[in-house]
Amino acid sequence: MEVDYTLYLLTDRKILEGKDLSRAVEEAIRGGVTLLQMREKEVSTREFYELALEMKELALSFKLPLIINDRLDIALAVDADGLHIGQDDLPLTAARKLLGPGKILGLSVSNVEEAVYGEENGADYLGAGAVYHTGSKDIAAPPIGPGGLKKIKDAVSIPVVAIGGIGLSNIHEVKETGVDGVAVISAILGSQDIESAARNLFNAWRR
Amino acid sequence: MEVDYTLYLLTDRKILEGKDLSRAVEEAIRGGVTLLQMREKEVSTREFYELALEMKELALSFKLPLIINDRLDIALAVDADGLHIGQDDLPLTAARKLLGPGKILGLSVSNVEEAVYGEENGADYLGAGAVYHTGSKDIAAPPIGPGGLKKIKDAVSIPVVAIGGIGLSNIHEVKETGVDGVAVISAILGSQDIESAARNLFNAWRR
Q: What is the pLDDT of residues A33-87, one digit of tens each?
A: 999 999 988 899 999 999 999 999 999 999 999 999 999 999 999 999 999 999 9
| Residues of chain B neighbouring A77 (CB-CB closer than 8 A) | 72, 90, 94-95, 98
User: Burial, A53: exposed, middle or buried (Cβ in 10 Å; 0-12, 13-18, 19+)?
Assistant: middle
Length of chain A measured in residues: 207
Can you tell me the mean pLDDT for B60-87? 98
Give the pLDDT score at A137: 57
Q: Residues in chain A whose beta carbon is closer than 8 A to a beta carbon of chain B?
A: 44-47, 49, 70-73, 76-77, 85, 87-91, 94-95, 98
Q: Quick one: closest CA in A to B52, which residue?
A: A90
Question: Distance from B100 to chain A by nearest Cα, in Å?
Answer: 13
Longest dimension (CA), chain A: 42
> Average pLDDT of B98-105?
96
Q: Of B108, B110, B186, B191, which is the active-site residue?
A: B108
Q: Which one of B45, B47, B84, B107 makes the best mutation probe of the A interface by having the most chain A beta carbons within 10 Å? A: B45
Residue A76 with chain B: CB contacts under 8 Å:
72-73, 98
pLDDT recorded at residue B13 = 87
Residue A140 has pLDDT above 80, yes or no: no
pLDDT band at B2 (very low <50, low <70, confident <90, very high): confident
Nearest to A121 by CA among A94, A93, A155, A158: A93
Whether A122 shows a pLDDT value over 90: the answer reads yes
pLDDT higher than 80, residue B138: no
CA-CA distances (angstroms) from residue A129 to A3, A164, A175, A184? 20, 6, 14, 11
Residues 6+ apart with CB under 8 A from B127: B8, B84, B106, B107, B108, B109, B161, B163, B183
Active site residue B110: no
Q: What domains can be seen in chain B, in order of their start residue?
A: 7-206 (3.20.20.70)
The yes-or-no verdict on residue B140 having pLDDT over 90 is no
| B206 part of the active site | no
* Confidence category of residue A18, pLDDT binned at 50, 70, 90: confident
Residues of chain B that touch chain A, judged by Cβ-Cβ distance less than 8 Å: 44-47, 49, 70-73, 76-77, 85, 87-91, 94-95, 98
Could you give the percent of chain B with pLDDT greater than 90?
88
Residues of B in contact with A69 (CB under 8 A): none
Most B CBs within 10 Å: which of A45, A69, A97, as the mutation test of the B interface? A45
Taking residues A185-193, report their average pLDDT.
95
Compute the nearest-CA separation of B142 from chain A (Å): 21
Reply yes or no on whether the pLDDT at B1 is more than 80.
no
pLDDT band at B42 (very low <50, low <70, confident <90, very high): confident
Residue of B nearest to A83 (CA): B73
Mean pLDDT of B142-161: 97
Q: Is pLDDT of A23 > 80?
A: yes
Q: Which pLDDT score is estimated for B183?
A: 98
- Tell me what ipTM this predicted complex has: 0.92
**Cβ–Cβ gap B91/A46 under 8 Å:** yes
CB contact under 8 A, A89 and B47: no
pLDDT, chain B, mean: 95
Query: pLDDT tens digits, residue range B16-35?
Result: 888 899 999 999 999 999 99
% of chain A surpassing 70 pLDDT: 97
User: What does the DSSP assignment read for chain A?
Assistant: -----SEEEEP-TGGGTT--HHHHHHHHHHHT--EEEE---SS-HHHHHHHHHHHHHHHHHTT--EEEES-HHHHHHTT-SEEEE-TTSS-HHHHHHHH-TTSEEEEEESSHHHHHHHHHTT-SEEEEE--S--SSS---SPP-HHHHHHHHHHH-SS-EEEESS--TTTHHHHHTTT-SEEEESHHHHTSSSHHHHHHHHHHHHH-
Closest to B55 measured CA to CA, from B106, B93, B20: B20
**Does the pLDDT at position B137 exceed 60?**
no
3-state helix, strand, coil in chain B (%, to 5): 40, 15, 40
Facing A46 at nearest CB: one of B77, B90, B98: B90
Rounded to an integer, the average pLDDT of B127-139 is 80
Q: Which pTM value belongs to this model? A: 0.94
CB-CB under 8 Å, B72 with A46: no
pLDDT given for residue A171 in this prediction: 98
Nearest-by-Cβ selection for B89 from A46, A70, A76: A46
Q: What per-residue string of b and e applies to A86-101 under the rule 16 or more CB within 10 Å gives b?
A: beebbbbebbbebbee
| Catalytic residue list contains B14 | no
Nearest C-alpha in A relative to B94: A77
d(CA A78, CA B114): 23
Structure confidence by residue, pLDDT tens digits, A143-168: 999 999 999 999 999 999 999 999 99
- Which residue out of B22, B30, B137, B196 is catalytically annotated? B137
Which chain A residues are within 8 Å of B85, Cβ to Cβ? Answer: 45
Containing B128, the helix (H) or strand (E) segment is: strand B125-129
CB A89 within 8 A of CB B44: yes
Check residue A148 and give its pLDDT: 98
Please, which pLDDT band fits residue B14 given cuts at 50, 70 and 90?
confident
Q: How far is residue B67's CA from residue B60's CA, in Å, rounded to a whole number?
A: 12
**In the predicted model, what is the mean pLDDT of residues B43-63?**
96
The pLDDT, as a whole number, for residue B136 is 56
pLDDT of A138 > 60? The answer is: no
**Does the beta-carbon distance from A77 to B77 stay under 8 Å?**
no
